[in-house]
Amino acid sequence: MKSDKLEQFIQENRNDFDDLKPSENLWSKIEGDLPPVKRKEFSITRVLLRVAAVVIIFVSSYFFHDMMNKKTNNQQVSELPQSESFKTFVEAKMYYSSEIQYKKQELFQLTSNTPELQKSINAELSNLDELFRGLKEDLGDQANNDEVIEAMIQNYRIKLEILEEMLQQIKLKNRKNNNHEEIHHTL
């Protein structure tokens, strides 16, 4: 390897460089040439002003954020009812929810002596509720999506039809059992 000429010169003349020592007054001269250090005074008013500025910024940003959220929520709420299909969905939801609730109560009264049947009914209704939640997520902020709204209404219809069919089957079974008991009593 080639060595650098400067490096070679320094190595050859090292002793000549090491014999010089700085004077003892050198540091005093350096300090004298430096500008004087300004001491920052601790001022309570300055600290309080800074704290107040931070608080004002925080509070104003909070209110600005809150105001923007309310504004967007109000816009979303005001936009939703404009859709005719969404209005239809709200009406259907109210109707089907009350009918489903009524049919469920009637069904559970008829099946009060068979808890395993009630458990099965609840499982079927839970599956439909899960499908409904998926549809609701699909709908999201798009209240004008007619296909999803129609699917949600269809979900209510299916739920009601299942409950009505179960009610008919249980009533038919109860009639047969009552007729069968009457025949045995008359004999």
pLDDT at 73: 60
> Residue 91, SS3?
helix
Per-residue b or e along 70-92, where b marks 16 or more CB atoms closer than 10 Å to that residue's CB: eeeeeeeeeeeeebebbeebeeb
Q: Domain range spanning residue 93?
A: 83-186
Within 10 angstroms of residue 131's Cβ, the number of other Cβ atoms is: 15
Q: Quick one: 95 and 158 in the same domain?
A: yes
pLDDT above 90: percentage of residues in the chain: 0
Which of 139 and 107 is assigned the larger pLDDT? 107
- 171 Cβ contact list (under 8 Å, min separation 6): 110
Cα 184 to chain centroid distance, Å, stands at: 62
Is residue 88 a part of any domain in this protein?
Answer: yes
C-beta of residue 110 within 8 angstroms of C-beta of residue 169: no
Q: Read off the pLDDT band of 74 (50, 70, 90).
A: low
Q: Quick one: 59 and 133 in the same domain?
A: no
- For residues 183 and 177, give the distance between their C-alpha atoms in angstroms, rounded to a whole number: 10
Q: What is the mean pLDDT of residues 106-124?
A: 78
Q: How many domains does the chain have?
A: 2
> Residue 65, SS3?
helix
Q: Quick one: 87 and 175 in the same domain?
A: yes
pLDDT digits (tens, 9 = 90+) for 19-51: 667 778 888 888 888 888 777 777 788 888 888
Is residue 148 a part of any domain in this protein?
Answer: yes
Q: Quick one: 72 and 119 in the same domain?
A: no
Q: Quick one: 137 and 172 in the same domain?
A: yes
- For residues 69 and 85, give the distance between their C-alpha atoms in angstroms, rounded to a whole number: 26
Q: What pTM does this model have?
A: 0.46
Q: Quick one: 66 and 88 in the same domain?
A: no
